Structure 1
Amino acid sequence: MTLYDDTLQLLRQLIRNACVNDFTGDTGYEYRNANTLEEFFADTDVRIRRFEPHPGRVSIAFTVDGTDDAAEPLTLLGHTDVVPVDESKWTVDPFAAEIIDGKLYGRGSVDMLFMTATMAAVTREVARAGRPRGTLTFVGLADEEARGGWGAKWISENEPDAFSWKNCLSETAGSHLPLADGSDALAINVGEKGAAQRRITVVGDAGHGSTPFGKDFTVVKLGEVARRIAAAEPPVLADDLWTGFVEAFRFDPATEVALKKGDGDYDVFGNLAAHAHAFSHTTISQTVAHAGGPINVLPSTGYLEMDIRPTPGTSQDDIDALLRDALGDLAEEVTIERLISEPATVSPTEGPLWDAVVSTYHELMPDAQVVPVCATGGSDLRFARRLGGVGYGFALHAPGRDLAEANRQLHSHDEHLYLEDLELTVAAYQKLVNKMVR
């Protein structure tokens, strides 16, 4: 069997294991994929470490020790959990890993089991060939979809020396940008926005629903809080990542200047308009509103929860100030509570791993420029960056598969991977790993 065949076979089994994480502690079942991966490496000389901070929530690391302690190490971070599905909205079995018309269907096929399987297969190939010069580690991580509490976060805080975090690859990259002049470019995640989840609690008058006269309505106040926050306008990101992204599209000068200032029309990005806006701004999504119980009781409290993603350089204090400014005179009547709060992280576009990423892409797609971007969601790479390492997304899609198409597959109904993209990603990882550790 070829390396591609090995990868595809493993990928289909990882999908079938249905390691569904519904964001509660006892789900995920990542032990299934950990066991599959351990069987996959059964005939190789690798060091294996299992991590199980909570029953069933298993991460597993496979290390091929290098011969030269001075050589650059490489660590491949692949997660093994997937998000839930609404089976009524799927036209195929989400865990059957069916191949139809050159596409592999299944939950997690794109996010991110095709990369995880590729990482495992390439690492096994290196192990079978004998010890490399640099140390190579592949880690199958639990709980990424719930921000890594039982996975990368736990390992980074409790077992940080279990493997190297110096040079790391994970999701995602290698999809194409539809540039204005028709030329090609590949988007590479070099950083990601932070987290600033907030709960705003409001207080009003309790009472019977039959006598509302003169009452300070909690529900009305909650609605006004939501309205004011929806009208907030965070400033545009003013850094090299955003300006470089805009310049890569080769718009006319006036459009380019307006976008850099935050005054432009994001529709010029076409299907990437929402991504470009999220990339360039701190975003506030109001996701939960709650007040009341019995229909005849005026609730005395209510709350609004928000998924806020700050841009690099935006602090948690900046977020609170933004919310207070938006609330105006209501700011003194509410309580702002911080929930999950994490800073944005960004890796430099220089160094041996970055050079290997760029040269690999240029070998496989010589006409495509490489454009560093900041991911609008999260990944396990942020833990590597916090421990002083660098982390980049790495995969490769065929021309015509743009960033919008790749993003549409994430957590979607009928999630599917083009097998052409799997073949390209396997080739890219094989080349890059050999550059780094051989």
Structure 2
Amino acid sequence: MALYDDTLSLLRELISNACVNDFTPDSGNEVRNADTLERFFAGTNVRIQRFEPHPTRVSIAFTVDGSDPEAEPLTLLGHTDVVPVDESLWSVDPFGAEIKDGKLYGRGSVDMLFITASMAAATREAARRGTRGTLTFVGLADEEARGGLGAKWISENQPDAFSWRNCLSETGGSRVGVDGLGVNVGEKGAAQRRLTVHGDAGHGSTPFGKDFATVKIGEVARRLAAFEAPVLGDDLWSNFVRSFRFDDATERSLIDGTGDYTNFGRLSAYAHAFSHTTFSQTVLRAGSAINVLPSTAYLELDIRPTPGTSDDEVDEMLRTALGDLADEVTITRLISEPSTLSPTSGPLWDAIVDTYGDLTPGREVVPVCATGGSDLRFARRLGGNGYGFALHTRERDLAEANSQLHSHDEHLYLEDLDLTVQAYDSVVRKLVG
């Protein structure tokens, strides 16, 4: 109970520090949460490293050196920044860390400060008793803005600061299918694109006979909206579908991509994103003056490729979708990052499965792929394994857990905090001793 109480107290302070990342370099101020974490570890035998690539954007690592240099290491990657809030749409103070009806309210309570606090508590306990393998907990800045001043910066500038071989981060352990436990073993990539078209310039008063860039970009948008990429045909997707225990015909149709995704209920959007490279039209620009025909228009796309899909294959999908318009559209690559995937085998995976077996006996562990991004991709790129790990009660399915991410009145069930603290303490003991 003391471990849970300490974790809850730490979590409330992390929330109240309001380390809001608005995607500008001078926001975040994660130094506040770094200082809180350093006080939390006061008096324990840990090595502390601070990373500050930009003023106040502080990441902090706490390492418990193991007694056996040959033993498996473990690194816990928790981020300390949170996304902005619209306070007018909250019924409580978003940084008040208020508890009511068994729930803790606050920005970041679910994404991901409850996991970060659990990691810190499990690491402090390990430091007090000693470990065989080396254990590191890192409170990372700037995850919400893709890690440029956090995990990405460390992986590129100080990659040897700690081990990336076995890493845990957000998120997992909510119900998938009938009674499975989802574990993120990978995440989709990023293939952002700008599609540019050209037309005739001229005065708005004489439109006759003009080739309108705005009309052309509208047709580009329509064709993209009608396009669907091929379904992900691998075991990851097939096993996810099977966890729902549909009848045979429904199962086959969903695995091959011809079925009705509403069969997944509240997880229909997630299931579709999981199984396809997705194209979201997010930015449209044309013109500046109301009486001038713009000669250029562009559309920007947030494209999330499935594992194994290359940049060239993404561009070919776009050309297929555009059809006879393809030669009139310039495709510009913006941010491009490959998808990443870890195996469902090895010492860390076994420790995860054993932990879930101890705490929630009889439940199947279902590997899933995150549709968004996390700091785990940097571990995988450096040759390590990374898994999303937490634990929720049976009542909390993946749809409900995901619904709290970046939401108004974001809240965490305290029973899920209790389970996650136990899960991290267990997996640390199993892997590093």
User: 5 Å matches for 1:14-413?
Assistant: 14-129=14-129, 131-179=130-178, 184-413=179-408
- Measure the CA separation in 2 of the matches of 1:311 and 1:80: 28
Aligned-partner residue type, residue 30 of structure 1: E
How far 1:72 sits from its partner (Å)? 0.4
Aligned-partner residue type, residue 426 of structure 2: K
Aligned-partner residue type, residue 145 of structure 2: A
How far 1:218 sits from its partner (Å)? 1.4
How far 1:216 sits from its partner (Å)? 1.2
- Measure the CA separation in 2 of the matches of 1:20 and 1:107: 9
SS at match of 1:162: coil
Q: Deviations over 1:173-198 (max 9, x none)?
A: 0000242xxxx111110000000011
- Measure the CA separation in 2 of the matches of 1:84 and 1:331: 38
TM-score normalised by structure 1 residue count: 0.98
Count of aligned residue pairs for this structure pair: 433
SS at match of 2:377: helix
Aligned-partner residue type, residue 338 of structure 2: P
How far 1:70 sits from its partner (Å)? 0.7
State which drifts further: 110-119 or 331-340.
331-340
In 1, are the aligned partners of 2:177 and 2:245 still within 8 Å (CA)? no
- Measure the CA separation in 2 of the matches of 1:24 and 1:323: 31
- Measure the CA separation in 1 of the matches of 2:228 and 2:132: 51
Q: Deviations over 1:291-340 (max 9, x none)?
A: 11121111121211111100001001000010011111221112111111
Aligned to 2:423: 428
SS at match of 2:5: helix
User: What is the CA RMSD across the aligned residues, in angstroms?
Assistant: 0.9
SS at match of 1:368: coil
- Measure the CA separation in 2 of the matches of 1:102 and 1:206: 62
Q: Deviations over 1:377-410 (max 9, x none)?
A: 1111111111111011110001110000000000
SS at match of 2:395: coil
Q: Deviations over 1:237-295 (max 9, x none)?
A: 01110011111211111111111110011111111111111100001110111111121
- Measure the CA separation in 2 of the matches of 1:284 and 1:296: 32
In 1, are the aligned partners of 2:177 and 2:240 still within 8 Å (CA)? no
- Measure the CA separation in 2 of the matches of 1:201 and 1:29: 37
- Measure the CA separation in 2 of the matches of 1:178 and 1:353: 24
Aligned-partner residue type, residue 66 of structure 1: G
Structure 1 stretches of at least 4 aligned residues deviating more than 6 Å after TM superposition: none
How far 1:50 sits from its partner (Å)? 0.6
How far 1:150 sits from its partner (Å)? 0.8
Q: Deviations over 1:75-127 (max 9, x none)?
A: 00000111111111111111111111110001100000000011011111111
- Measure the CA separation in 1 of the matches of 2:33 and 2:295: 47
- Measure the CA separation in 2 of the matches of 1:177 and 1:46: 37
TM-score normalised by structure 2 residue count: 0.99
Q: Deviations over 1:12-47 (max 9, x none)?
A: 111111111111221111111111111111211111
SS at match of 1:267: helix
SS at match of 1:95: coil
How far 1:233 sits from its partner (Å)? 1.3
- Measure the CA separation in 2 of the matches of 1:244 and 1:261: 12
How far 1:361 sits from its partner (Å)? 0.2
How far 1:367 sits from its partner (Å)? 2.3
- Measure the CA separation in 2 of the matches of 1:38 and 1:219: 55
SS at match of 2:364: strand
- Measure the CA separation in 2 of the matches of 1:270 and 1:43: 49
In 1, are the aligned partners of 2:77 and 2:137 still within 8 Å (CA)? yes
- Measure the CA separation in 1 of the matches of 2:423 and 2:148: 30
Aligned-partner residue type, residue 32 of structure 1: R
